[in-house]
Structure 1
């Protein structure tokens, strides 16, 4: 009998945030402005909003104050690189701004929004993932840039027009969708010139779990900010439901979790991957809370089984009592100096790591959502 680290009813979100405060008092020792830090701090903010523990708010504030000066300049951020990844930290910063009303945070929010206004676009009018990846649309980038886009319009623009936000979501779904499985490919090169791109449709070679995790979280998050009577909002909701249904069909039936390459679970070397699985479960949990999903009882049962297995498959506790999030794919990309070709062999070759913020963030968010079930 293996040692049990706790029960599904424990406050795992609180345990994980306490771990972050003790184990990582400085969120980023490299001094880089990185999207995964914002992802993790979004989880901490969720727990702060539930508990009102001021230490959690100070932890978030300390991170941003190490990067942002009084003039709103951000250490490590270069808007001329046009990386959608750089926008992601703006989501938790926006919440921090409304709590503190510190004007330097608003200056940063304005600069992030200004980047989106100038972001290069593909022929179908979608944002490039970054300047160095011309005409490429990645599912990851929708989460990084387009939820913030909607939030900024909602809070700071009089009579906001969400047409472009909706287009970023609906058109990316249309061009990335595989009609046979209902899943979406990791990326699309609209120029069809990259060595990894399908010459007919620009698709990357495989579905990648975490990219779909980013995508369903993005759709779940953006719906909050779109007017309910807007037909584009209804289309995003339909797309979200369809994609979650497709994901459910390829989930590992024993655990309700997902493989790194989600539609090839029986292929040797493939493995249950934590970050993407936690993201998808988090999207399901939030969608249930917000009333986005039909057949609620059925989805709740699926979610609880996935949560309980996620704890067994991915979570361990150290001798100090720290929460470890295991089985995280370190990175997954296409192109670049390492010639990442999007093959199955490529996705299996990337290191599997522990406590990367791309895994701890979704774990904290999901664990916080699961407080409603126990």
Structure 2
């Protein structure tokens, strides 16, 4: 019954989906990548049709992506490009191959920190946020793996290792949200360059980035490299599960669960659920992690997928959070606890719905293995 409820929600959501923005954007990518995961798990063509219909509105016959500014230097713009690989594999339409190369070109020209990490955006110079690893690295990994590009995979690994060096907290076993190599931003520690809190969704993006990169590396060709990613992933998941609430969910700001105003947040919980479920499927994590992933998924479906006026809604999603760039906007995004809990909470946002699609795809695959 619960799975039927989820499927009804997904069908209705996709049927009524409106593009998040007029330009190419990562939020639409969250839904596209979720639909892609559902297609691969269920083989239902309606998910592929949703992806192709979207791409055909955005990609012309020469593979040019409409409403995409290449010199915006926005790492978020890589995210939606992941589904181009599936679009090409399923249709063999050359325009998708050209579009893949156009996305890869964005990475080629993207500015980097002195250590080699992609800047988060042109307007966030010299900054690395956990979010950006999800936006860029899975696409980069798929491209590198398909082209047997060891250098590309080594570049990706170096970027993850730099994040481990610059943002990991040995005490809490979690990652801070952002790093400023200039140490000048108001949110950055003047000595370490780190932001000051553990925002759950940022860590969720990072967890999904790692497990999706791992899934797209050919072990027969790049086993040693893949093992390095797996070490980082296991360490991360060991840290994350320490902070799972007894309800099965995770708080908006991790490690501060008892602080007034903190709340159990949907998108991060679904990202963690997906990562735990997939990590078990890939034989990286044992059954105890699978159980925690199932508990998280079930808690969301039970408590946060709620009927409202005859319509199912996915609630308690943090709509947006970030860190100040060159100029403040949306108030003072200073990385404080007070900031993270002040951002708007809403329903049905792609940053929560996309991870629901991905988590449910793992439930489908788990059922196929007789493990649910």
| Fold match (TM-score > 0.5) | yes
> Structure 2: which 5+ residue stretches go unaligned?
none
Indicate the structure whose relative CO is greater, using CA pairs within 8 Å and at least 6 residues apart: 1
Q: Given the alignment of the two structures, is residue 297 of structure 1 paired with residue 290 of structure 2, yes or no?
A: no
Which residue of 1 is the match for residue 271 of structure 2?
A: 279
In 2, Cα distance between equivalents of 1:277 and 1:89: 22
In 2, Cα distance between equivalents of 1:22 and 1:222: 30
Compute the displacement of 1:32 (Å). 2.3
Q: Residues 41 and 362 of structure 2 are in contact (CA less than 8 Å); yes or no, is this contact kept in structure 1?
A: no
Which residue of 2 is the match for residue 246 of structure 1?
A: 239
Q: Tell me how large the CA RMSD over aligned residues is.
A: 1.8
Which residue of 2 is the match for residue 325 of structure 1?
A: 314
| Superposition pairs of residues 102-251 of structure 1, within 5 angstroms | 102-156=93-147, 161-228=152-219, 230-251=223-244
Bigger mean CA deviation after superposition, 357-366 or 219-228: 219-228
Q: Residues 16 and 364 of structure 1 are in contact (CA less than 8 Å); yes or no, is this contact kept in structure 2?
A: no
Compute the displacement of 1:292 (Å). 1.1
1:172-223 Cα offsets, whole Å, 9 max, x none, are: 1221101111100101001111111001110011111101000011100111
Which residue of 1 is the match for residue 253 of structure 2?
A: 261
1:318-373 Cα offsets, whole Å, 9 max, x none, are: 455x5421100001100043231111111111100100100000011111212324
Change (3 A) 1:300 1:54: closer
Q: Residues 12 and 368 of structure 1 are in contact (CA less than 8 Å); yes or no, is this contact kept in structure 2?
A: no
1:317 match: secondary structure = strand
1:93-135 Cα offsets, whole Å, 9 max, x none, are: 2211111111111111101111111211111111111111111
Q: Residues 185 and 204 of structure 1 are in contact (CA less than 8 Å); yes or no, is this contact kept in structure 2?
A: yes
Which residue of 2 is the match for residue 42 of structure 1?
A: 33
Pick aligned residue for 2:323 from 301, 325, 334: 334
1:88 match: secondary structure = helix
Compute the displacement of 1:14 (Å). 2.8
Q: TM-score, normalised by structure 2?
A: 0.92
Q: Given the alignment of the two structures, is residue 350 of structure 1 paired with residue 340 of structure 2, yes or no?
A: no
Q: Number of residues paired by the alignment?
A: 361
